[in-house]
Amino acid sequence: MQQLKRSAPFALPIKILQFGQGNFMRGFFDWQIDLLNERTGLDAGVVVVRPRGGSAAPLLDTQDGLFTVLVRGLNEAGEPVKAYRTVECVQREIDPGTAYADYLALASNPDLRFVVSNTTEAGIAVNQTDRIDDAPPATFPAKLTQLLFRRYQAFEGARDKGLVLLPCELIDRNGPALKAAVLHFAALWSLEPGFAEWIEDACTFCSTLVDRIVTGYPAGDAEKIKEELGYDDPFLVSAEYYYLFVIQGPSWVGDELKLQGADLNVKLVDDITPYKKRKVGILNGGHTTLVPVALLAGLEAVGPAVDDSGVGPFLRAAIADEIIPALEMDRKELAAFADDVLLRFRNPSIHHRLASIALNSWSKFAARVMPQLLRYAELNAGRLPRRLVLALAATMVLYRGDLIELSDDPANLDWFRQAWPKVDSGAWSMAQLASGWLANAKLWGRDLNEVPGLTYAVTVALEQIRRRGIRELLG
């Protein structure tokens, strides 16, 4: 089978340094840069750097930096979409374990303008042991600080040679977090004061929000894909149709990326917070609301659950009538986002098991659903959102542990292991189960029995689930 190779030499100037070679960055960021190159003349070449060196996995260089992105799912009209794109913007991949000098040499490249990263949630971390002369140091921020210091020296602190940092790690305020990590190493290594000033004045650390499901190589469809493409690409990744890239930064960042007229779902905003709340509330909160109800209804995956005649309408109503009203954004924009979320949940190309999403359900419920439940009650004179309360009770029933294998904080699992036998034996009432769990201030941040009517509502929901079953309660 033919391999993927370039037919012409590399031609793009290196404008972007990318930490992270994984599926997500190829199917999300590089895919967008390739479209910007095509549609706007951005002409940005990308060099990929592995955050950690020494991996035996082959480099993208074995295919001249080329790879394929398969986009498939449902479009805005709910119609199936399938499209291949050969991404050409990556010019090289560097393993810092074997070519660290080549990485540091990028600091002197006058064309370099952006640094993007996705090094997992634990990637933006500091220590006291990395040194300025380590080649390479252990942490991503230390590697980045070395490069930035070399650039500062190479261009004698020129303000126009600062870089724009776009961290994509899934942590809150990832831009300031990365900046703080760089300044930590600048102080640890006693670098000249002018460097810290250059970081402050010449470099721009943007916070970002990224959203796309990239599932990697679809091994089950490998032979069909090879036949359709006419070549074999082991770096191919499959991505859903939907994507969103939100950047909190000055307007000139959008000008430099040539976003105007690119027709990409990239938003440059002054405050990323509402978009995070929207994603957490509707996308993540929708998942967390759906899972216990769908599992108790005998379903196994997200797509069939959304299409189910009982569970699907329950989820739609929970989002439209109880979650969206509790979020402080434009209702039409929230409704449009919710429509996209439901299409994504129904994507036939992604088999998302409910049991997998149920991992650590209680921390998820506390962060994703409870804020909307409490806000709804606050806005409605104490009236509680019936469906979110039912999802809370259903999660408690799920934690009997007799339906799926549970994974959570040991303290949460132990509490239910002791509580449910007490209920089954008659030693505890459902009201005691409800009040006992709602009193968990470590989880909720407060004793939720203080919320008027909540303990009673959860108790009633628990009793109804036991007596009637979940399906009768979904209307």
Q: Structural domains in the chain?
A: 14-271 (3.40.50.720), 274-473 (1.10.1040.10)
Pairing assessment for the beta strands 14-19 and 45-49 based on DSSP bridges: parallel
Tally the residues of the chain.
Answer: 475
Rounded to a whole number, what is the distance in angstroms from the first to the last CA of the chain?
Answer: 54
Q: For 372-393, give the DSSP string.
A: HHHHHHHHTTT---HHHHHHHH
Cα within 13 Å of Cα(197), Cβ side: 7
The pTM (predicted TM-score) of the whole model is: 0.88
Provide φ and ψ at 321, rounded to 5°: -100, -15
Q: What is the predicted pLDDT for the residue at 281?
A: 96
* Residue numbers of the chain with a pLDDT score lower than 70: 1, 54
Q: How far apart are CA 238 and CA 70, in angstroms?
A: 5
Q: What is the predicted pLDDT for the residue at 1?
A: 65
Q: How far apart are CA 42 and CA 34, in angstroms?
A: 9
| CA angle, residues 388, 273, 142, in degrees to nearest 5 | 120
Residue with tokens 């709340």: 277
Q: Please give the single-letter amino acid code of residue 293.
A: V
- What sign has the CA pseudo-torsion 51, 54, 60, 61? positive
